[in-house]
């Protein structure tokens, strides 16, 4: 895994908290929920079974983790990332570009004001 255990979202209860009380960013490729918390960034990734069998889902999760890894220093939120179906037709480079922008917005949202929508 590209993210140390310390920075992972590790219980169903926390996922529920983020969905319920967090904010949301949408793009054609991803949906990101985030909620500012005290003890450092915590990342969770949810990949639906629609994306294929276990090998394919695991690979997608690894690629997303690889992208998220670079953003860990400037995040202070619990973040849940859900890829959407269009990700299947897109290269790693495009995924990285889109997700980089979204995560930068999450990082800014912690200090300055928050915009609920993107694009």
Partner RNA sequence: CCAGUGAGAAAGGUGCUCGCAGCAGGUAUAACCUGCUGAGGAAAGUCCGGGCUCCACAGGGCAGGACACCGGGUAACACCCGGCCGGCGCGAGCCGAGGGAAAGUGCCACAGAAAAUAUACCGCCUCACCCUUGUGGUGGGGUAAGGGUGAAAAGGUGGGGUAAGAGCCCACCGCUUCUUCCGCGAGGAAGAAGGCAUGGUAAACCCUGUCCGGAGCAAGGCCAAAUAUGGGGGCAGGUUGGCCCGACCAAUGCCCCCGGGUAGGCUGCAUGAGCUAUCCUGUAAAGGAUAGCCCAGAUACAUGAGCACCACCUUCCCUAUGGGAAGGUACAGAACCCGGCUUACUUCUCACUGGGACC
Partner RNA sequence: UGGGGGAUCGUCUAAGUGGCAGGACACGGGACUUUGGAUCCCGGCGUGGAGGUUCGAGUCCUCCUCCCCCAG
Q: How far is the CB of 116 from RNA (least distance, A)?
A: 24
Q: How far is the CB of 57 from RNA (least distance, A)?
A: 8
Nearer to RNA, 6 or 108 (CB): 6
Q: How far is the CB of 111 from RNA (least distance, A)?
A: 26
Residues 88-117 that bind RNA (CB under 7 A): 92-93
71 binds RNA (CB under 7 A): no
85 binds RNA (CB under 7 A): no
Neighbours of 53 (CB within 10 A): 8
CA distances to 17, 54, 78, 89 from 21, rounded to whole Å, are 6, 30, 11, 32
65 binds RNA (CB under 7 A): yes
Out of 17, 66, 100, 110, the only residue in the binding site for RNA (CB under 7 A) is: 66
Q: For 75, left (φ over 0), alpha (ψ -120 to 50), or beta?
A: beta
63 binds RNA (CB under 7 A): yes
Residue of 44, 32, 48 lying closest to 107 (CA atoms): 32
Neighbours of 75 (CB within 10 A): 21
Residues 1, 65 contacting (CB under 8 angstroms):
yes
73 binds RNA (CB under 7 A): no
């Amino acid at each position: 895994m590209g993210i140390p255990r310390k920075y992972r979202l590790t219980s169903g209860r926390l996922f529920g908290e983020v969905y319920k009380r967090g904010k949301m960013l949408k793009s054609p490729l991803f949906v990101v929920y985030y909620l500012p918390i005290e003890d450092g960034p915590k990342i969770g990734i949810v990949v639906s079974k629609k994306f294929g069998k276990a090998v394919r889902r695991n690979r997608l999760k690894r690629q997303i983790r690889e992208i998220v890894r670079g953003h860990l220093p400037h995040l202070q939120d619990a973040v849940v990332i859900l890829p959407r179906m269009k990700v299947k037709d897109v290269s790693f480079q495009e995924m990285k570009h889109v997700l980089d922008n979204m995560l930068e917005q999450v990082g800014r949202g912690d200090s300055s004001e928050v915009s609920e929508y993107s694009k």
